Structure 1
Amino acid sequence: MGYETELKLFIDGAWRQGEGDMSPVINPASGDTIAELHLASTANIDEALAAAGRAWPAWRALDVEKRGAILHKAASLLRERAESIGRLLTQEQGKPLAEAIGEVTGAAGMFDYFAEEAKRSGGRVLVRPTGQRSIVIPQPVGPTATFTPWNFPIYLLAKKVAAALAAGCTVISKPPEETPGCTGALARALDDAGIPKGVFQLVHGVPDAVSRQLIGSPIIRKISFTGSTAVGKHLMKLAADGMKRITMELGGHAPVLVFDDCDLDKTLDMLVPQKFRNAGQVCVSPTRFFVQEGIYDAFAKGFAERTRGITVGNGLDADTRMGPLANGRRLPAITELVDDAKAKGARVLAGGEPGKGGFFFQPTVLADVPDDAQAMNVEPFGPVALMRPFASEDEALQQANRLPYGLAAFVFTENGRRANRIGDAIESGMVGINTFAISVADAPFGGIKESGFGSEGGAEGLASYQVTKAIHQA
């Protein structure tokens, strides 16, 4: 089955061609251009802004049950179409088809969750003298602009859009230009579910131009961004001029602390597939592996053996376990990090080189990586595992907390007291202890330090699209 879909913008309830420049859509498994996307013009963005402003009063006033019914319907449609949408995602982004289908069903789960969570969003009544009332209520913040990346184009879009719509906000989303087919399919599910005109809109365009126009508009009251720390800081500066509310889910460099009391084989069987999921292009991907000295050699050997057994190829092939990098920009970036680490003394236990054709890079394991290697300080965002030994718990914590990032961290130990200590002491917005299940609909997802602030998912994610109002009556 080939790449078959219409690539259009969704503005004010209508599907239309963008009036801006053309942008190629490239299959990363082959490097071939498979489609052309018409980007939005300034006039297209202005039309979307006006529609979002017009639609907001009616959407915020709509009964929460009726808003939820639309979101549930969109979730049902996403599940029905999961395989076809997943094929679009694999052809645009590269990940194996099973991962792509799982991403679509995960996005459906987000719509279902927030359709119900909005019904539980209440305020409180304050204690006052007889005859007086003071209440605190949440209200939708207003028209929202969302910006999402190419690594999980469906899931990350759904995480923002579902919460914002459930809260009663209208939304203009700018997903990545690399993956317009699959994100357009999410917009079509909302359209087919009966979303009113102007309530949800999807536009593609030159990122800097679109972000400046959306954030600079007085219509937009909230910005939610997932992407790099550098771009996040830039958008924060733009938002400051209008005192816009912002949620920033930025980069990470997840440490993994592996203690000698863990079940080594079980731990390795969990770690290796997780490291190379989506070719390592995951903001919470386990990357810096700090392993207690007594098991370090066995850990490194077992990790490398499992890594060499990973089948790399086109994500549409049934036996593929890791696809290509999502775009050509990642190949030289990963190559530079690996070469720098080798030059500074790291040992290559597996991979270490670009693959053949497309945007492939071998699953790579580097041992004894020194602190001054670039890869230990800059998020690789690719299929590279970095490891080194530690002697004490204090040393492991110092290494984990050394960087200015704090999105996710992972710990493997069977010692309950140690798990409690590490969970408290590690500087990270999310900690997985003997698990990687940290991105779930009912839990907050977000970081600290230069990994951003604010939460997505859970009640906290809904609250990020709300403002608080206190009403006092005497």
Structure 2
Amino acid sequence: MTTALRRLRNYIDGEFRDAADGRTTEVVNPATGEAYATAPLSAAADVDAAMAAAEAAFPAWRDLIPAERQKVLLKIADRFEERAEELIAAESENCGKPIALVRSEEIPPMVDQIRFFAGAARMLEGRSAGEYMDGFTSIIRREPVGVCAQVAPWNYPMMMAVWKFAPALAAGNTVVIKPSDTTPASTVLIADIIGSVLDELGHPRGVFNVICGDRETGRLMVEHNVPAMASITGSVRAGMQVAESASKDLKRVHLELGGKAPVVVFEDTDIAKAVEDISVAGYFNAGQDCTAATRVLVQESIHDEFVAALAKAASETKTGAIDDEDVLYGPLNNANQLKQVKGFIERLPAHAKIEAGGEQVGEKGYFFAPTVVSGLKQDDEIVQQEVFGPVITVQSFSDEKQAVEWANGVEYALASSVWTKDHARAMRMSKSLDFGCVWINTHIPLVAEMPHGGFKKSGYGKDLSAYGFDDYTRIKHVMTSLDG
């Protein structure tokens, strides 16, 4: 006897709907490798309906005073807390994530981020009004951009949805968001939460809409004539495609496209503490994090000691079932991602050495062992390209100059970290590292008040912070004559 698959649906104009043509795709639990739900495979008719709903709702939502939008977001944050166990269950099934870690590491920051943007709604900033030409007064208006087409990734489906909808709604925009085709469940649940709040407070239903589907669905959203802005978190290839599609009608684009974070460890570092923190920051979420500490550069004088300690930490790091509280991470998200990570290991050059891990774990699901690879050179594929898995690479550098050269010597520029007791060195490195974030003696903490975003092929635009809020607004100059 087979178990019936759960039926997920789009959320358009306050209603849950199947795709107009009835097409669906199966959603697989990566911890088991088995389908647990179906989701709509949305096409042009569905995208049209969602965009029409968002467009119709925009004028009323735009014209609300900020305090009213703040009330909505604060109520949404409260509802996230009230329904936290539902969100945790959905995300754990979505991604195979350990339940305890979703509860402790995702729900609290998501709620905090929504509340931060609720406050940001009332803190619109701009230059002061004044007379910059005799006889005329100038003022600056900061306005919402309009309908936002947003595409979220599969590594943090819930949290990335929050990073997108919270600043957009706070600024007065309306939203059509598409989760990844492999992880739609938690975003559909978020639609139910936000929809109920909008209904309770008497706001238009089309303010927030969810469309499920694949890459083609995302393309249709980005190319649609209604959105004024397209926002995506995903691969470099996907970001380039979005930028190209959006250029056809000059949509504003917000891109967060991954990273290859250097972790630069100098010889004066407390090795035990650095290894402890770096291993967690490298393996958390199975290394499926664009800021993960997976590219370590170690000064040659401590290289062997550091590698031995890191390999030991990897051997003691556990992956496994969602209900095991000793587990640091769950499976890779999907079969294709497992294949990609395996491919990097299989293609390692002869001079590379696997110090720990390097293989799939278990007979079902997409689990991969915590892995350490040493002996690598700067131009090796695994150093240059994003693995997006629980694989930490180690290189040995001679001096600060070489550390900077190798750290910056990749196409990505999202995040980085420096490990040293020398304050002056830390300051020099933070200046020289060409990355949107530099952590010193830590790696991966994020706060709502500070921006997250990179340079080069890591994309442009900021998430979180007032800078992230500003990205969802436009600037208008109003000038009036004093004569009449």
Q: TM-score, normalised by structure 1?
A: 0.96
CA–CA separation in structure 2 for the residues paired with 1:193 and 1:114? 16
Are positions 1:417 and 2:421 aligned together?
no
Kindly state the Cα deviation for residue 104 of structure 1 after the two structures are TM-superposed: 2.8
Tell me which of 29, 32, 36 is aligned to 2:31: 29
Tell me which of 344, 349, 353 is aligned to 1:347: 353
Asked whether the 8 Å contact 1:29–1:323 carries over to 2, the reply is yes
Are positions 1:85 and 2:73 aligned together?
no
CA–CA separation in structure 2 for the residues paired with 1:288 and 1:89? 28
Are positions 1:317 and 2:297 aligned together?
no
Tell me which of 272, 292, 296 is aligned to 2:303: 296
CA–CA separation in structure 1 for the residues paired with 2:326 and 2:277? 19
Q: CA RMSD in A?
A: 1.7
Cα shift readout 1:285-319 (whole Å, capped 9, x = no counterpart): 01110001111111111111111011221122222
Who is 1:214 aligned against? Answer: 221
Cα shift readout 1:362-405 (whole Å, capped 9, x = no counterpart): 11001111223211111000000000111100000010011111
1:119 alignment partner, SS class: coil
Gaps of 5+ in 1: none
Are positions 1:403 and 2:410 aligned together?
yes
Are positions 1:116 and 2:119 aligned together?
yes
CA–CA separation in structure 2 for the residues paired with 1:4 and 1:317? 25
CA–CA separation in structure 2 for the residues paired with 1:292 and 1:285? 20
2:185 alignment partner, SS class: helix
CA–CA separation in structure 2 for the residues paired with 1:91 and 1:387? 33
Asked whether the 8 Å contact 2:26–2:35 carries over to 1, the reply is yes
Question: What is the 5 A alignment of 1:454-465?
Answer: 454-465=461-472
Are positions 1:427 and 2:434 aligned together?
yes
Tell me which of 139, 149, 152 is aligned to 2:153: 149
Per the alignment, do residues 227 and 93 of structure 1 end up closer, same or farther by CA in structure 2, a change over 3 Å counting?
same
Kindly state the Cα deviation for residue 448 of structure 1 after the two structures are TM-superposed: 0.3
1:120 alignment partner, SS class: coil
Cα shift readout 1:450-474 (whole Å, capped 9, x = no counterpart): 1111111111111111111111111
CA–CA separation in structure 2 for the residues paired with 1:79 and 1:3? 30
CA–CA separation in structure 1 for the residues paired with 2:43 and 2:240? 25
Asked whether the 8 Å contact 2:6–2:38 carries over to 1, the reply is no
CA–CA separation in structure 1 for the residues paired with 2:135 and 2:208? 43
Are positions 1:38 and 2:40 aligned together?
yes
Who is 1:49 aligned against? Answer: 51
1:78 alignment partner, SS class: helix
Cα shift readout 1:70-125 (whole Å, capped 9, x = no counterpart): 11111111112222211221112122112222323322222111010111113221
Are positions 1:441 and 2:443 aligned together?
no
Asked whether the 8 Å contact 1:253–1:378 carries over to 2, the reply is yes
Asked whether the 8 Å contact 1:52–1:200 carries over to 2, the reply is yes
Are positions 1:270 and 2:273 aligned together?
no
Asked whether the 8 Å contact 1:268–1:303 carries over to 2, the reply is yes
Question: What is the 5 A alignment of 1:126-141?
Answer: 126-128=130-132, 132-141=136-145
Kindly state the Cα deviation for residue 5 of structure 1 after the two structures are TM-superposed: 6.4
CA–CA separation in structure 2 for the residues paired with 1:330 and 1:440? 28
2:360 alignment partner, SS class: coil
For 2:266, give the aligned amino acid: F
Asked whether the 8 Å contact 2:260–2:412 carries over to 1, the reply is yes
Question: What is the 5 A alignment of 1:158-177?
Answer: 158-177=162-181
Who is 2:74 aligned against? Answer: 72
Asked whether the 8 Å contact 2:7–2:39 carries over to 1, the reply is no
CA–CA separation in structure 2 for the residues paired with 1:4 and 1:69? 37
Per the alignment, do residues 414 and 473 of structure 1 end up closer, same or farther by CA in structure 2, a change over 3 Å counting?
same
Cα shift readout 1:400-451 (whole Å, capped 9, x = no counterpart): 0111110111111111100110000001111111122443211111110111
Asked whether the 8 Å contact 2:6–2:36 carries over to 1, the reply is no
Cα shift readout 1:243-275 (whole Å, capped 9, x = no counterpart): 100111012111100011111111111111111
Number of residue pairs matched by the alignment: 471
For 1:382, give the aligned amino acid: G
CA–CA separation in structure 2 for the residues paired with 1:213 and 1:350? 44
1:15 alignment partner, SS class: strand
Tell me which of 375, 387, 392 is aligned to 1:385: 392
CA–CA separation in structure 2 for the residues paired with 1:131 and 1:437? 52
Who is 2:13 aligned against? Answer: 12
Asked whether the 8 Å contact 1:79–1:108 carries over to 2, the reply is yes
Who is 1:94 aligned against? Answer: 96
Asked whether the 8 Å contact 1:272–1:306 carries over to 2, the reply is yes
For 1:150, give the aligned amino acid: W
CA–CA separation in structure 1 for the residues paired with 2:121 and 2:477? 19
Are positions 1:199 and 2:207 aligned together?
yes
Asked whether the 8 Å contact 2:5–2:36 carries over to 1, the reply is no
CA–CA separation in structure 1 for the residues paired with 2:4 and 2:133? 67
Asked whether the 8 Å contact 1:366–1:387 carries over to 2, the reply is yes
Who is 1:258 aligned against? Answer: 265
Asked whether the 8 Å contact 2:98–2:328 carries over to 1, the reply is yes
CA–CA separation in structure 2 for the residues paired with 1:232 and 1:129? 42
Asked whether the 8 Å contact 1:137–1:469 carries over to 2, the reply is yes
Who is 2:233 aligned against? Answer: 226
Moved more, 140-149 or 32-41: 32-41
Cα shift readout 1:164-205 (whole Å, capped 9, x = no counterpart): 000000100011121222111211121122252111100001
Q: Percent identity?
A: 35
Cα shift readout 1:331-354 (whole Å, capped 9, x = no counterpart): 22111111222x331111110111
CA–CA separation in structure 2 for the residues paired with 1:186 and 1:435? 32
Per the alignment, do residues 129 and 333 of structure 1 end up closer, same or farther by CA in structure 2, a change over 3 Å counting?
closer
2:361 alignment partner, SS class: coil
CA–CA separation in structure 1 for the residues paired with 2:437 and 2:9? 37
Cα shift readout 1:33-64 (whole Å, capped 9, x = no counterpart): 11122222322211111111111111000111
